[in-house]
Amino acid sequence: MEITSFIFGMLTMVVISFVVIIVVGLVKIRRLSQTVEGMIEVSVETTRDIHEKIELLSRQIEEVTKGSISYTDKRIDNVLNRIKE
């Protein structure tokens, strides 16, 4: 009778320890998944910001290029007009 009670007591302790380990593991997994989700959101926002900045820089480069071409065309026209005169 004492051995049976001892065995049941030990099995109860083993089961309780397994349950505690499983609960702790699940809590850690949940925290990590929340952290990963947060990192994904930050990554998406950062990617969006980078694309917006690239688009803005592309438009600025295009404007500067058009302005440079226009200025160059005006200067060439002035030189050609002076040569014709």
Q: What is the mean pLDDT of residues 4-11?
A: 92
78: pLDDT strictly greater than 90: no
pLDDT at position 66, please?
87
Q: Is the pLDDT of residue 24 over 80?
A: yes
CA 80, CA 78: separation in Å to the nearest integer? 5
Contacts of 62 (CB under 8 A, 6+ apart): none
Its sign, for the CA torsion 26, 32, 38, 39, is negative
Token pair of 76 as six digits: 């060439």
Is the pLDDT confidence value at 1 over 80?
no
